[in-house]
Structure formats: structure tokens, C-alpha cells
Amino acid sequence: MRRYGMPLRRTMAVTAGLVLVLSAAACGGDEETPGTGGTEAARGSTLIFASSADPAILDPAFHSDGESSRVTNQIFETLVATEEGGTDVVAGLAESWEVSEDARTYTFKLRQGVKFHDGEPFNAAAVCANFERWYNFTGLAQSDSVSYYWVTVFRGFAKNEADTLGKSLYGGCTAKDDGTVELKLTEPSAVVLSALTLSSFGIASPKALKDYKADEVSGTAESPQFTGTFGTEHPVGTGPFKFGSWTRGDKLELVRNDEYWGEKAKLSKIIFQPIEKAADRAQALRAGSVHAFDYADPADLESLKSAGAQVLERAPFNMGYLGFSQRTDIMKNQKIRQAIAHAINRENVVKTKYAAGAKVANAFMPDSLWSYSEDFTKYDYNVDKAKQLIAESGVSNPTLEFCYPSGVSRAYMVDPAGNFQLMKADLEAAGFKVTPKTSPWSPDYLNSTQAGDCPLFLLGWNGDFGDPDNFLGTFFQSFSNQWSFRNEEIFKTLSDAEKEPDQAKREALYKQANTLIADFVPGVPYAQSPSFSAAAKNVQGWVPSPVLNDKLASISLN
């Protein structure tokens, strides 16, 4: 043994010595390696953006993920857009628009002199060709994972191939003249306007779609695949950047569109480099090898700031709530629901369980969304008030079954069990008895909450697009087992709001709906959580959009 061994003390001393030598070497090197780090001057006006993954596909109609839309948002443009940093609908490829009285006809006046990157003219015929393409998807293209947003907004296709698809909301598109498009709906809906700001409704060059076989599917029935190269090598839109090249896993390059109709991009190029982990993206930014990235880990924010980077907050577009199923008598009792709302210390839940920047939610929609106002009943944390309401409710020894999920973490609900523990303590302090019930998130928990089996349940929502209907309408527009209540006033207000063509009136209706909902207390919204982006000191003009509609053309490097 002794022949090959070494006394422990000496081993430790040598180990310590080795660590010191390695650290000294790490801090004392002076060799120059080409192509690394690089000076800002050499980088010129090229922005290197660290993404967390490759885009799925660059055909806007076929993606529903943020990594894809970040790229297609620069290549393609939509008829209407969202204001910088907000959710208000502003002009896009359409300069102006009108919605008919019955909210079934949308008339868009298009910008003149716009050209696609392939030189083809942008006009009403091109817009209608895109709508007709989406509406006539068949086979693979009809699956929810492929044309998610068309299915979400327009519900169905010309020839539905699955029972789950509904009658399409799309009723036809007419090119009235070169610069006027008339979009017909089969039912009244004012929501379509804000839905059209989604990058998935980006207008593509009809010629490129055809030339690069965007919709052609090949392979066997078992493994169908898109054969065209539109979404991988030839995405052609009207945006401020054109597609350059893409090596999956390595980098994707966009180059400035010098023929752009509007203010031209200040950057000559954008390179997206996929770096999966937030900590690695932060390290790359601190090392100066990338300029910007999204989804920063809150734990990295301080080190980024102290390294001189900018930390930008993306306004929350989600909300976490404590829902009530009014199937049981106790939950039908409004005083009990109000008592719960007063009993819960939401400030404490958010402070203890959420990252910096998270806020208490007071309504069932994020406060960054248009039509939000603070003008409704609020339930402050007040244990005495809660006790008083329980006494007034006529229910003695109120017992609540409280469901929470396991195996899930969402921006709006980072630690469901932790949230539950805090709320349980609050409810008990107010005089409730709480029976916990937990189950795995999918499918058990989601199924039982959707069936209305949970009197109290923790859930939340990540918004799809910037319309209050996507939040309030999703929850409360009609009867659902999940909430198990009928409140015709709320249902009608939301239904009217969905169909109201006048934006100002719509806004008023959603304000009214928020007031009605707050008074009725169908649940307790409690948290909304932002995300963070980071950029090098010299990056200017980046305004993160709450609905991920970032326009990187406004960025410049100083």
C-alpha cells in the first residue's frame, strides 16, 4: 500500500498548491487568441443577440414560440401592430382600418410603395393570398402544434379535418382595390383586430411562398414533413431586416433591408446565437461576446448590473389567481368569497415567493393591458374584516378544500406548494379550516380543476395576445365547470365587448367587466410576474414588449 500511496496531509497540501497554481495561471495569462471577444469597433453595427434556442421555423404561420417570433418579427410585418412597449393596436402594414357596425367586416387601407424582400409588390392581393393560404391549410398544417394561432383566433379551416376544430371565423378576403382589403368574419368579433398583431399573422410574399413550397408536405403518412424551404431558408416578408443565413445550433443572421418603406434599421446585421442556459447567456454578455439576451435569471441581475450591463424589465403578461368553483354551497356564498379575498396576504405571497419585479395582481388581467384601470373594488389584507364577513355569512366552522398542483412551475406560480402554504396559514388565521388536496399538474390537476371538482384552486394564465378578451373572455364569458357560476351580467358584458367594433366603447365595457368581476369575487387574482432582458452598455433603443413584439430595428450600438 505505502509504495503507491501518499500521506493524506501531503496530498492535501499538494492539492491546495495545485489550486493556487491553477488560479494564478488563470489570472496571469497574456496570450492573444484571434476571433474571441473582439473589440466593439470590429463588431461595427452588428448586434449579437443570445437566444435561448433556435427558432422552430421561420414561417410565421407555423410557429407559436417566442424564439421563432423574435426573429420573424424583424422579417415580417403584420397589418396592425402593437405600440412600442405596450399592447395598444397601432398601424402596421395597414395605415388605417374600419370595423363595421356589426363587427363582421374589417376594412384595411394599406400602405403604398411597400415591397417584399424579393421585390414583389405588397398590395391587397398579397394580403388576401396570405389569408386564403391560412384558411385552406390541410393535413399536417391543421394540427394545433403547427398552426396554433390560426386555430386559436379563427377556430377552423375551409375543410376541417378534425372534430375538435370549429366553424371558421374567417368569412373571406376581398381586394377592393390595390390598397384596400376587406376581411369578412362569419360571426361578429372585435378581438380579431388585436389578434392580428400576432407575429403569426405576418404577411409573406405570395411568390416566395409558392416558389419555396411553403405548404408542401412529403414523407410517409407515419412521418409527414414540410419539404419546402420557405420556413428554413427563404422567409420573405416586408420587414426592416431580411433573412441572411441559418446554421442550426450555431447562428442565424439577418441583414438590413435597405429598401424598407419606413425608417431603416440602424443595425446592419443581427446575429442570433443560441445559448440555452440563462446563466451562460449572462456570462457571455459579461464577457462581451454577445450584446443582448432575454429571460435573464433574476439571480444574475446584480452581477449583470455591476458588470455595467443594462437590465430591462418586460412588463408582466401573465397572472396567477386563486380560483373558486361555485359548485358547493359554501363557495356560492359571496360573503365567504369576500372573506377569503380579505384573508389572503397577497403582498406577502408575492414578496416571499416571487422574483424581484413581481407585483400583486388585482384584476384577472395584467395591468399592462389596455382597458386596465384601478377603478374597481379591491380586497386589502384585513383579517378582522374577513372574520366579520365569515360571521355575516351564516356559515359556522367554514371548511375549505384547497387544491394545488405538484410538478409544475410557471412565471405566474413559481412554487405552487409554497403559495398554498402561505395562503393556508392566512385562511386559518381568519378562522377557516383548510383541507389540502394536491395532484400532479398534468393531466390530473388540470382535469380536476377544469371539471370544477376543486372548491379552491391555484391556477394562472400566460397571455397569447394583447386583448382583454384573451384573459377575461377566456375565463368568464360563459358558463364553465371550472368556475361553476352563472352571472348573466358578466357574461353579457364580456360578450358585448367581444363584438363591439368601437375601441373606446370596448375599453369601457372591459372596465365595467372588471368592476363586475371584482364585486362578484369569482376568485382572487394575486400575482403578475415580469421577465427580464439584459443588454450591453452600448445598446440603445431596445424597448421590450409585454407581448414579445420587440422591434429590434430601433436598436443602435454606440
Partner 1 sequence: MLRFVVRRLALLVPILVGLSILLFLWVRALPGGPAEALLGERATPEAVERVQRLYGLDRPWYEQYLRWVGNVLRGDLGVSTRTQHPVLEELLRTFPATVELALTAMIFAVGVGVPLGYFAARRHGTWLDHASVAGSLFGITIPVFFLGYMLKFAFAEKLGILPTAGRQDPLMDAEHPTGFYVLDGLVTGNPEAALDALAHLILPGIALGTIPLAIVVRITRASVLDVLHEDYVRTAEAKGLRPATIRGRHVLRNALLPVVTIVGLQVGLLLGGAVLTETVFAFPGFGKFMADSITARDYAVLQGFILFTAVIFVLVNLLVDIAYGLIDPRVRTA
| Residue 37: CB minimum distance to partner 1, A | 4
Q: Name which of 77 and 215 has its Cβ closer to partner 1.
A: 215
Q: Shortest gap between Cβ of 501 and partner 1 (angstroms)?
A: 29
Closest listed residue to residue 196, CA positions, set 61, 311, 52, 302: 61
3-state secondary structure 457-509: EEEEEECCCCCHHHHHHHHHCCCCCCCCCCCHHHHHHHHHHHHCCCHHHHHHH
Q: Considering beta carbons, is residue 50 or 94 the nearer one to partner 1?
A: 50
Complete DSSP assignment for 90-125: EESSEEEEEE-TTS-EEEEEEPSS-B-TTSPBP-HH
- Please enumerate in sequence order all residues whose Cβ is within 8 A of that of 126, keeping only pairs 6 or more positions apart, or say none: 116, 120, 203, 205, 206
- Nearer to partner 1 by Cβ, of 54 and 426: the residue is 54
Of 225 and 406, CB closest to partner 1? 225
Residue 90 or 299 having the CB closest to partner 1: 299
Q: Which DSSP letter does residue 277 get?
A: S
CB of 442 to partner 1, least distance (A): 5
Order the strands of the 269-274 sheet from edge to edge.
241-247, 251-256, 269-274, 46-51, 292-293, 531-535, 310-314
C-beta closer to partner 1: residue 15 or 399:
15
Q: Which residues pair with 182 in a beta bridge?
A: 107, 174
CB of 162 to partner 1, least distance (A): 5
Please state, in angstroms and rounded to a whole number, the distance separating the CA atoms of residues 5 and 170: 80
DSSP three-state, residue 411: coil
We find the least distance from the C-beta atom of residue 258 to partner 1, in angstroms, to be 20
- The least distance separating partner 1 from the CB of residue 55, rounded to whole angstroms, comes to 10
Binding site for partner 1 (CB under 8 A): 3-4, 6, 10-12, 14-15, 17-19, 23, 26-27, 29, 31-38, 42-43, 46, 48, 50, 54, 56-57, 140, 143-145, 162-164, 219-226, 247-251, 271, 273-277, 279-280, 283-284, 286-289, 441-442, 446
> Minimal distance in Å, beta carbon 16 to partner 1?
9
Q: Indicate the burial class of 68 (C-beta count within 10 angstroms; 0-12, 13-18, 19 or more).
A: buried
Rounded to the nearest whole angstrom, what is the least distance from the CB of residue 33 to partner 1 in the complex? 5
For the purposes of burial, counting CB atoms within 10 Å of the CB of 297, is it exposed (0-12), middle (13-18) or buried (19 or more)? middle
Q: Name the residue nearer to partner 1 (CB basis): 247 or 396.
A: 247
Q: Report the nearest approach of partner 1 to the CB of residue 243 (Å).
A: 16
Residue (288 or 431) nearer to partner 1, CB: 288
If DSSP codes are grouped into helix, strand and coil, which group holds residue 256?
A: strand
- Cβ contacts of residue 378 below 8 Å, gap of 6+? 362, 518
Answer yes or no: are the C-beta atoms of 75 and 319 closer than 8 Å.
Answer: no
Q: Residue 413 corresponds to which cell in the numbers above?
A: 406560480
Query: Residues 6 or more apart from 34 whose CB is under 8 A from it?
Result: none
Distance between CA atoms of residues 374 and 288, nearest Å: 42
User: Measured from the CB atom, is 46 or 393 closer to partner 1?
Assistant: 46
Minimum distance of partner 1 from residue 416's CB (angstroms):
14
Q: Between 6 and 504, whose beta carbon lies closer to partner 1?
A: 6
Side-chain half-sphere of 442: how many Cα atoms within 13 Å? Answer: 2
**Shortest separation between residue 192's beta carbon and partner 1, angstroms:** 21
Nearer residue to partner 1 within complex by CB, 175 or 446 = 446
Q: Measure CA of the first residue to CA of the last residue in the chain; give whole Å.
A: 65
